[in-house]
Amino acid sequence: MNKLWVFGDSFSEPFSKVKQLPWRIEYIQWKGYMPKCYGEIISNKLRLQHINSASSGADNYTILDTIINVLNTINSDDIIIIGWSSTLRFRVVNKKNTFSTILPAHITDAINLNKELSLLELSNSTLKELITNRDNLIYINELNNYIKLINFTFPNNKIIHWTPFLKQEKNGLLTTHNNLILKNLERVVEETIGKIDDYHYSENGQIVLAEEFINIIDNYRIKNFKKPML
């Protein structure tokens, strides 16, 4: 059975990975059942084994790491979907000697972050300065290089690169999808009419997103990336 590999952040993670995310718990309770994420919908429809390696709050370096960790187990008939996160996010080493992602929704959030991340030995001003430094298009270019390398590494696979952070595509991120559809995807806050104040995609949003991706997969033309061994 071929596989559907999904990498990314909370926008690609199944609802069943509730973790400590209050919005996810509240939304599942509000719905009265466990909604399906786009990866689950696609894998059911296309009869693929769904391997979801997305992780809430992930930065793009961690997403790339996750992909590289499983490089050798991805077969040429597998489909890969990567939901790249915000390039503002970055990672530092915490007191447990593991990586922690710094994830501002906005640059002004930086000062609040450090209070929450008690594991860090970095000052508020350092986090704020680093985030401000990252608010630059050059980090989109950095990510585009990662996308290029992945595309070259998997020349025979159908790969979808997308991002829920729409501004990034406008700023030149090399995605595979049509940005327009993402703008109109229903959010949790809309479906619940403000009862759950969260901007991740609702169940309907996930269904529409899955349909968009299936359409891309069905019409995907394998790009003839030049391989040196050919």
Partner 1 sequence: MSNLWVFGDSFSATNKRNNIEHWRRDYIKWKGYTTLVWPEFLNKILNYKLINLAISATDNYTIFDSIIDNIDKIEKNDIIIIGWSSTLRFRLVDKTNSFNTIRPSSDLKFSTLNIPFQYNNISLNTINEVLINRDTELYELELNRFIKIINLYLKDIKIVHWSPFQLQHPHLKIKKIEGIDTLETISIETNEEINDYHYSENGHLELSKKIYTMLYE
Specify the amino acid at residue 203.
E
Site mask for partner 1 (CB under 8 A), range 143-182, x = bound = --xx-xx--xx-----------------------------
Q: How far is CA 14 from CA 18, 112, 230, in A?
A: 8, 27, 39
Q: What is the token pair recorded at 179?
A: 């940005």
Q: Which of 24, 134, 161, 177 binds partner 1 (CB under 8 A)?
A: 134
- Helix, coil or strand: residue 176: coil
62 in Cβ contact with 91 (< 8 Å) = yes
Among 136, 156, 178, 215, binds partner 1 (CB under 8 A): 136
For the bound state, the minimum distance from the C-beta of residue 116 to partner 1, rounded and expressed in Å, comes to: 18
Contacts (CB under 8 A) with partner 1, residues 104-123: 121-123
Start-to-end CA span in the chain (Å): 28
Q: Which segment (29-37, 57-65, 166-174, 215-223) binds partner 1 by CB under 8 A?
A: 57-65
Selection from 130, 126, 6 nearest residue 58 by Cα = 6
Contacting positions for partner 1 (CB under 8 A): 61, 64-65, 68-69, 71-72, 92-93, 97-99, 121-123, 125-126, 129-130, 132-134, 136-139, 142, 145-146, 148-149, 152-153, 225-226, 228-230
